[in-house]
Amino acid sequence: MARAKPSKAADAESATTGARAAIIRGLNEDLAREYKAIIQYVVFSAALKGAEYSDIADQLKLHASQELAHALEVARQIDYLGGDPTVKGKPAEYSTDSKRMLEIDLRGEQETIKNYRERIRQAEAAGEYALSEALRDIIAEEQDHEIDLKDALGLR
């Protein structure tokens, strides 16, 4: 006997489940990037050498604590959506050269911003507006981090 055709409601439900699974996967990538950022900012804020970098070293300490707040928020959102927050970070990068440290951080911020933009788009398409608002708050801080790093590198 032919199986009954899934109802439109069931189709919509499985589409929602699929969209939510994709958002959870993406948020876990974002969380792994936050862990990486925390490690780099903790290490680089201590390791930056040179009087010209003393202001940015202080700013990196603030970035570290903001990245921790982002990680906590992203983990909370993953749990709320029914996912399991990852325990694995993206591998942290390192350099002994101060300028290179800032370039590594800048690239990380740009990658992070690009990914959060995509996540906001996914959240809005899925009607997850509380999530997209939380991500907008995070992305505003990532943009501040990007500006701090560009200023320190003389790129603005």
**For 115-126, b where at least 16 C-beta lie within 10 A, e where not — what string?**
bbeebbebbeeb
Binding map of Fe ion across residues 69-88, x = CB under 5 A, - = no contact: -x------------------
CB of 68 to Fe ion, least distance (A): 9
Which residues ranging from 33 to 52 are in contact with Fe ion (CB under 5 A)?
34
What sign does the dihedral 146-104-139-111 (CA atoms) show?
positive
Stretch that binds Fe ion, among 8-16, 26-34, 51-59, 73-81 (CB under 5 A): 26-34
Residue among 142, 135, 133, 119 nearest 67 (CA): 142
Non-local CB neighbours of 102 within 8 Å, separated by 6+ positions: 44, 48, 53, 56, 149, 152, 153
CA dihedral 65, 70, 76, 78 (to 10 degrees): -140
Specify the residue, 11 or 137, whose C-beta has the smaller distance to Fe ion.
137
Which residues ranging from 51 to 70 are in contact with Fe ion (CB under 5 A)?
67, 70
Specify the residue, 70 or 122, whose C-beta has the smaller distance to Fe ion.
70
For residue 91, give both structure tokens: 């591998």
CB of 52 to Fe ion, least distance (A): 22
CB of 114 to Fe ion, least distance (A): 12
Which residues ranging from 117 to 156 are in contact with Fe ion (CB under 5 A)?
142, 145
Is residue 30 near Fe ion by the rule CB under 5 A? no
Interaction site with Fe ion (CB under 5 A): 34, 67, 70, 109, 142, 145
